[in-house]
Every structure is written in structure tokens, then in C-alpha cells.
Amino acid sequence: MERNKRDLADWVDSRIASLDATGEWRPDAVRAWAVLRRRDRAVRVRRAGWVGLTATVMAASLIVFALGEPRACANPLGCADDQAKPFAPETLLTNYRESGPANAKVTIEVYSDYQCPSCAAAFTNGIIPQIMKEYVKTGKVRFIHRDYPLPQHQYAKLAARYVNAAGRLGYYDAAVAHIFKTQTTWEKDGSIDTQIAKVVPPGAMVKVRQMVQNDKTLDESVASDQALGAQDNINQTPTMVILENGTRHVVAPIPAYPLLKSYIDDLLKK
């Protein structure tokens, strides 16, 4: 083994000697660096090409993905697509303020003012939810909500316009509940639009605003309720009118629920 190593070393020495027989060879450092720089540049160019191609493909993919995604609308009045589609009158509801069977033996009408604190109490956690649960949803009684904005309440009529516009699109119950719930907030500055927008989807809200601004029938609806209330000599809200067998019974102020329940049950038994 040792001999083989010596033979290999002698062979290497002889090959080196044959490469430089004169013994005058010296390394050319300048040329070597030039060669290395050319090779390094070539490698960087190839790498940059691949990186650039990869980045281009990724950017193109992101653009395609972005174009395929639905765009969010930042306009509080609705996107251009929504604004370009006016609401269709034939799709609007007309009996959204009525609940329960039309042929019920007893009908309860409640006149309210959206800026009236007593009305808010009655509709949020008072008598009205109990009547709806026990009599209207069980089919015993028909319920009609009538608008009776009082002149001393600055924003009551505007609130009625917004709620009824939302009602025509199918959001009446949600709008009524939220406007009464947030009464102490919007009555300070009339920010009813902000509150209604929290319970009505953006696309429908565009149509609500269109109706509030342009639809005079919203005021006609309120005026009709006020005229009917005047016939009943209503002078406060909330006021309840109970219809039974063609007779209108005005109930104001509305009594505690146990007493009211006893009265309704007696009418249903007749």
C-alpha cells in the first residue's frame, strides 16, 4: 500500500512537470478574476430571469383573482350598480303594518309616535310583545300599527318615513324594533338613517333612501292614520283602539297587561 502511494505521488509530479516544462508558469490573477466575474454575472442573470418570471406569474395570478372577486362598496349611499337599479313598485309590500288573520273577531290598532318614550317602552319590552305572542301569533287577534307623530316631536315624522320605506321592502319589524330601541340616540340629532342602515342590507338601504327622498305616498300613509286617529279623538300616544263587531273601543292610557288581557278575553268570548 505504501508503495502504491509513492508511485501515485511520482505520477502526479511527472504530470505537473509536463504541463510546465520551462518552470516559468505563474498564475494570472487579473485574468482569473475576469473569468470569475463573467461566470458570476451569467449565474445572476439566469437566477434573475427565473425570479422575474416567477414574480410575473404570481402577479398575473393575483390580478386574475382580484378581478374575479366581488368588489366591496365603500359608498354609504350605495354602489353604482345598486343606484342604477330603481326599485320595482310591483314588488313593494302594502300590508307590512298588519299582522294576524284578516278575519279575526278582534282587531287591535295601536297609534304610536317613534319619538314618544312611552311608545318605545310599550313596543320594546312592554305590552305589545305580549299581545303579539299570546293573541296575534296564535291567530286570535289582528294587529295594525298606525303612525301618529305628535307635532312637538321634531323627528317623529321622518322616522315614520324611514320605517315605512323599510317596511315596503320587508324589513318593517326589524326597523320598528331598532328605531324604538335607539330612540334616545337619534332623537338628539335626527340620525335615523344611520340606525335604519344597521338593520337593512346595503342594497335595500339604497332603495329606502330613494323612497324617503322622493315617494310622497309615505306622507300620505301617515296622514291617513292621523285622519283616522282624529275621528277617534286621539290626543296621546300610545293609544289602543280595539275593534269588535264593528265597534271601536278607544283605550287610553293603555292599562297594565293583566287588565288589558281580561278585557280582550271578554271580547273574544262574545
Digits of tens for pLDDT over the chain (270 positions)?
544 445 555 554 555 455 444 444 454 544 544 544 565 555 454 554 544 544 444 544 443 333 344 343 333 333 333 333 444 444 688 899 999 999 999 999 999 999 999 999 999 988 999 999 999 999 999 999 999 999 999 999 999 999 999 999 999 999 999 999 999 999 999 999 999 999 999 999 999 999 999 999 999 999 999 999 999 999 999 999 999 999 999 999 999 999 999 999 999 998
Kindly report the pTM of this predicted structure: 0.66
Q: What is the 3-state secondary structure (H, E, C) of the chain?
A: CHHHHHHHHHHHHHHHHHHCCCCCCCCCHHHHHHHHHHHHHHHHHHHHHHHHHHHHHHHHHHHHHHHHCCCCCCCCCCCHHHHCCCCCHHHCCCCCCEECCCCCCEEEEEEECCCCHHHHHHHHCCHHHHHHHHHHCCCCEEEEEEECCCCCCCCHHHHHHHHHHHHHCCCHHHHHHHHHHCHHHHCCCCCHHHHHCCCCCHHHHHHHHHHHHHCCHHHHHHHHHHHHHHHCCCCCCCEEEEEECCEEEEECCCCCHHHHHHHHHHHHHC
Q: In this predicted structure, what is the pLDDT of residue 35?
A: 46
Q: In this predicted structure, what is the pLDDT of residue 47?
A: 52
Domains of the chain: 89-269 (3.40.30.10)
pLDDT per residue as tens digits for the range 210-267:
999 999 999 999 999 999 999 999 999 999 999 999 999 999 999 999 999 999 999 9
Q: In this predicted structure, what is the pLDDT of residue 88?
A: 44
Q: In this predicted structure, what is the pLDDT of residue 248?
A: 94
Percent of the chain with pLDDT over 70: 66
d(CA 122, CA 26): 106
Q: In this predicted structure, what is the pLDDT of residue 126?
A: 87
